[in-house]
Amino acid sequence: MDSALHEGDRLRGWEVACPRRPGPLDGVEVAGFRDRSAAGLDMRVVPQPVVTVVIELGDDALSVEHDGSSRALRSLAAGLMPGEARVRARRVECVEVQMSPVSAYSLLGVAPCDLDGGVFGLEELWGRHEPRLREQLTGIPGWEGRFALVEQFLVRRGASAPSMDPEVVASWERIVSRRGRVRVGDLAVSCGWSRKRLWARFTAQVGLTPKRAAMLVRFDPAVKGLSAGRDPAEVAAVCGYADQSHLHRDVMAFAGCTPGTLALA
């Protein structure tokens, strides 16, 4: 669920909750959503530079349409590049967790590259821990208690989990801090690896090439700008695209639609 949609959905009868204080894990953001108006959800899943986990707490499952098929899921994990996917639900009450690829590598139990091009049932990744966590969350009435439980669960998972190569972490953080405006050669120099080694290790652990990751990081604020109704030419200039045509090509490549269609999704 893209954060660009949260503010607009709040105006249409959605309750949006965020923790009052920063959580214990870097690169992890938690939020809660409740459809107070019972208007339902019909949302295109857009590529983002985060892995998104959604745990539905209400009576109705999420209907996930992906690659021409539909699945009913009580919880899901969407990778950086989920492909053409759509999520629908009649009434939503859920906890959403957004993880950077660095955090997801340790917390999900699979590398982000294993989620490439898909939306998965969270039980496929966490096994018996998923229904147990969901049951516990359902029994807690307030958002702060739910956030605390999720954070404690993730801290335990991360305590003994593997971590990415420091060089890959540093390269990802540099891409994010530069908002995608970085050259792969400069990344290799900064971490002390050859361009070929960085390309191979980064792709194996993040699931995208360094160049593709930089494009996705630049694309993310463009999505937010378009979803907020800003002019595409202005969005292109602010987000570092050469021109509006350049933005159009990236939107088509990542989202499979035009900027105008994406703004209405």
Q: 177, 236, 171, 249: which is closest to 210 by C-alpha?
A: 171
Residue 73 is predicted with a pLDDT of 95
- 63-115 confidence digits (pLDDT tens): 999 878 899 999 999 999 988 889 999 889 999 999 999 999 999 988 888 88
Give me the pLDDT at residue 125, please.
92
Maximum C-alpha span of the chain: 54
DSSP class of 61: P
**Residue 200 DSSP code:** H
Q: What residues have CB less than 8 Å from 181, skipping those under 6 apart?
A: 214, 218, 240
Mean pLDDT, the chain, whole residue set:
90
* Percentages (nearest 5) of helix, strand, coil residues in the chain: 50, 20, 30
Three-state secondary structure readout of 216-232: HHHHHHHHHHHHCCCCH
Q: Which of 161, 187, 189 lies closest to 176, judged by CA?
A: 187
Predicted local confidence at residue 115, as pLDDT: 86
Q: Strand, coil or helix: what is 206?
A: helix
DSSP 146-182: HHHHHHHHHHHHHHT-----HHHHHHHHHHHHTTT--
Q: Sign of the C-alpha dihedral, residues 147, 148, 150, 154? A: positive
Under 8 Å between Cβ of 150 and 97: yes
Tens-of-pLDDT digits for all 265 residues of the chain? 443 334 444 446 889 999 999 999 999 999 999 998 888 888 888 999 999 999 999 888 999 998 788 999 999 999 999 888 899 998 899 999 999 999 999 999 888 888 877 899 999 999 999 999 999 999 999 999 999 999 999 999 999 888 899 999 999 999 999 999 999 999 999 999 999 999 999 999 999 999 999 999 999 999 999 988 999 999 999 999 999 999 999 999 998 888 888 877 6
Q: How far is CA 1 from CA 45, 103, 194, 195, in A?
A: 7, 18, 36, 34
What is the C-alpha to C-alpha distance for residues 96 and 93, in angstroms, rounded to an integer? 10
Indicate the residue type of 223. Answer: V
